[in-house]
């Protein structure tokens, strides 16, 4: 076993625990791949080559290595949480590059489990947009480098989809784990409120933001999420679930592309063949939901800017306008905890009738990969609302939600699974059942280890 690039995290950890391979060998192989591919995909803004090598050696020397759930697994961390000794730039040249004095709790938990942080991934400035470009570069989709990898955890998605790492950390304020997962053919999960330590930005976009996981397989995601949550998630076949199928958008004026609808219909049919009760039903989205989500989208970055910056001068023009609009929202009608309570009260009858909601993750195919930050705020805002309006409701409700890949010609398809609070286990088990029945390509074809583009010859044997 000379390398583990392209292998699932579960397999890597098992090999390191058993001594079949060292964490140092695993990490060296992944660092070599990052060195070859990162320039063309723009996934990482900081590669921790020397630090990761030292951390891998420390894992090999640990007396408890045989018990570590993520022994030697290389992970990427989105550049929006503190990592000891590293700058935390939040996708912005305006944020000081001060070394962080300590790790975020999720980083602490990853390291305690034996994972090795190989680098920090790119995101749009202040994590605002569902496509990833910043002063540190454009992140491209490994499935089609002319298109975005999604956002705001786009760097993490590109890193996993190209096998630079097997799993990655992301954050999700209005869909920022699920959107890039859908764009890049990955499984991504946002836990419900309180399952994983949040502690993001000024106040985590008024409590909407959660730390989540992007992975190529459901077992990998379950493993990493369990580490972050301090628990274990089993993947045994779920009991007969009551599945609601809906392609209805959460607000007026939103158009869902036919391919996004088709992925939902096909997945509903599959779940029916797997023995679940599947029927069409629509959540009763309130009319105030879309305006409320837009107010959070504006106010959250405004609060983050006030926490991280002394002024707005160094921000991109589109970000300055976004933040100023958010400052106005904070003066006129700031987000309030009762918004979540109101939305949960509306949705509870729906989730009393159903165990899982099956719906689109995206409303349209991925937009181009370009330097959106050099264009107007209106262009970025309009594209954001057209591309990714399907995910934010579940952040406001505090419900767990996941994006599941759907094989398709060209760009990958995806569907979203949503469950009531505390039912991450149901989402993971249902997704694992879909994966077992239908499967999906684990990496973008051109970047699959040993694949047609010669990106990684002879790895993983």
Residues 6+ apart with CB under 8 A from 447: 37, 142, 161, 162, 163, 453, 455, 456
Q: From the candidates 152, 181, 295, 384, which is the catalytic residue?
A: 152
- State phi, psi for 165 to the nearest 5 degrees: -145, 155
Task: Say how many C-beta atoms besides its own lie within 10 A of residue 202's C-beta.
Answer: 16
- State phi, psi for 225 to the nearest 5 degrees: -65, -40
Contact 188/212 with Cβ under 8 angstroms?
yes
Let me know if 152 is a catalytic residue: yes
Q: From the candidates 92, 134, 176, 380, which is the catalytic residue?
A: 176
Instruction: Round to whole Å and give the CA distance between 260 and 294.
Output: 23
Instruction: Round to whole Å and give the CA distance between 425 and 403.
Output: 14
CA 394 to chain centre: 14
Where on the phi/psi map is residue 190: left (φ > 0), alpha (ψ -120 to 50), or beta?
Answer: beta
Q: From the candidates 78, 380, 384, 455, which is the catalytic residue?
A: 78
Contact 455/447 with Cβ under 8 angstroms?
yes
Let me know if 92 is a catalytic residue: no
DSSP 8-state assignment for residue 366: P
Q: Is 262 helix (H, G, I), strand (E, B) or coil?
A: helix
Let me know if 209 is a catalytic residue: no
**Catalytic positions, please?**
78, 152, 176
């Amino acid at each position: 076993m000379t390398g583990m690039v392209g292998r699932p995290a579960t397999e890597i950890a098992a090999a390191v625990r058993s001594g079949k391979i060292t964490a140092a060998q695993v990490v060296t192989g992944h660092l070599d791949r990052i060195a070859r591919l990162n320039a063309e995909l723009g996934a990482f803004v900081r590669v921790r080559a020397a630090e990761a090598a030292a951390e891998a050696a420390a894992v090999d020397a640990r007396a408890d290595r045989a018990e570590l759930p993520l022994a030697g697994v290389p992970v990427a961390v989105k550049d929006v949480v503190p990592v000891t000794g590293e700058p935390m730039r939040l996708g912005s040249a305006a944020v000081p590059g001060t070394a962080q004095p300590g790790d975020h709790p999720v980083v602490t938990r990853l390291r305690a489990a034996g994972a090795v942080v190989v680098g920090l991934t790119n995101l749009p400035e202040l994590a605002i947009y569902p496509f990833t470009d910043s002063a540190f570069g454009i992140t491209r989709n490994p499935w089609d480098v002319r298109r975005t990898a999604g956002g705001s955890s786009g760097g993490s998605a590109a890193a996993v989809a190209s096998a630079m790492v097997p799993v990655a950390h992301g954050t999700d304020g209005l869909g920022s784990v699920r959107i890039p997962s859908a764009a890049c053919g990955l499984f991504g999960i946002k836990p419900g409120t309180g399952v994983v330590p949040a502690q993001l930005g000024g106040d985590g976009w008024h409590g909407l933001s959660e730390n989540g996981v992007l992975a190529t397989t459901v077992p990998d995601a379950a493993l990493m999420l369990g580490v972050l949550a301090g628990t274990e998630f089993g993947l045994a076949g779920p009991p007969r679930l009551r599945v609601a199928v809906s392609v209805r958008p959460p607000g007026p004026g939103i158009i869902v592309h036919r391919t996004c609808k088709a992925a939902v219909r096909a997945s509903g049919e599959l779940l029916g063949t797997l023995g679940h009760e599947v029927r069409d039903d629509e959540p009763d989205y309130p009319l105030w939901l879309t305006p409320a989500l837009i107010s959070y989208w504006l106010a959250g970055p405004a609060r983050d800017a006030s926490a991280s910056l002394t002024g707005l001068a160094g921000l991109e023009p589109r970000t300055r306008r976004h933040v100023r609009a958010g400052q106005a929202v904070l003066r006129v009608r700031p987000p309030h905890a009762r918004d979540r309570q109101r939305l949960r009260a509306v949705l509870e009858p729906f989730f009393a009738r159903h165990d899982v909601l099956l719906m689109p993750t995206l409303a349209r195919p991925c937009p181009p990969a370009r330097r959106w930050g050099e264009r107007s705020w209106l262009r970025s805002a309009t594209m954001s609302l057209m591309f990714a309006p399907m995910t934010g409701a579940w952040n406001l409700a505090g419900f767990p939600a996941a994006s599941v890949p759907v094989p398709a010609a060209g760009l990958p398809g995806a569907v979203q699974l949503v469950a009531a609070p505390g039912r991450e286990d149901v989402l993971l088990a249902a997704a694992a059942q879909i994966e077992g029945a239908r499967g999906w390509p684990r990496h973008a074809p051109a970047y699959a280890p040993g694949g047609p583009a010669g990106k990684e010859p002879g790895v993983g044997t």
